[in-house]
Amino acid sequence: MPERSLLATLLVPGKVPSLAASRLEENFRLIRIERADPALVTEEMKQSVQGMLGITVIDAAFIDVFPNLEIIANLGVGYDSIDAAHAGKKGVMVTNTPDVLTEEVADTTIGLLINTVRELPKAEKWLREGRWVREGSYPLTKATLRGRSVGIFGLGRIGRAIARRIEAFGLPVSYHNRRKIEDVSYSYYPTLVSLAEAVDTLISVAPGGAATQKAVDATVLRALGPNGVFINIGRGTSVDEEALIAALRDGTILAAGLDVFADEPNVPQALLDCENACLLPHVGSATVHTRQAMADLMVDNLISWFTKRQALTPVPETANVKARTYS
């Protein structure tokens, strides 16, 4: 049988995602470099690279290194680490992996919320350490989901999936977005502060980027109040971590559950020391099932682009980018 021809040359700045490795190697010539650093790029790479994996920070300067770059395929729904606006101006397509992780992340959010409110990880630790035998029952938790009202910051695909689950608990849902959504019945608040004032449980699903940088600040946390619970499943950069640590320490809010942080994987020691914080290592979509679906969609975008000249899931900033034609 004749050897299968490869579709294009892809640059991999960092490690090849293991769940995508076999399909990438079957369909593309892969060039691996340690990180997205122009100093690591040879002249041959500059000319040959047509596609790139978005698995690290891809800024405008790095995009500009490659005159024949056509597509950056991101692994994940969030793509704030890629300068998509610049890519769009340069005629470079950027894709992400929406939908396939929505339900998984929503499940994780509810688990994180329950763990934060009912202290289930601490209760399990109590049992495992033999304290149930020595000291008796785990102390009654201060918090409960009963009687709570929930506000969602970022009512996109994942936010809606979370809202459906919150409704199943019999709790009212409100939200804040840049603009009101017409096809939902949830109460809308035009500012994040007004939402925080109206609820006692705030779930952030907001994307990263300049528009949300430290949006959850001391003012928002004070508005949430001493019975307030803050959950972040979106991006760590949307929170002023110093203000959050202070709010947890001094009782401005009751508790927080975080799956994301500003400088991952580096979590501030002051946050680790907060007994009223439930912390997870960014595992929102981290199951084999969902990560495989994400990896497959990333590769499907690349294959579709280089065979049909169309992307399956372009990001909004590059939705109008057209594939180049060659004579």
By annotation, the residues acting in catalysis are 235, 264, 282
Are 286 and 260 spatial neighbours (Cβ–Cβ below 8 Å)? Answer: no
SS3 labels along 268-287: CHHHHCCCCEEECCCCCCCC
Strands 255-258 and 229-232: parallel
Rg (CA), the chain: 22
- Residue 66 tokens read as 């490659």
Q: Which helix (H) or strand (E) holds 168?
A: helix 157-168
CA distance 41 to 269: 37
Q: One-letter amino acid identity for 163? A: A
- Residue 226 tokens read as 């001493």
Spell 62-75 as b/e; 16+ CB within 10 A means b: bbeebeebbbbbbb
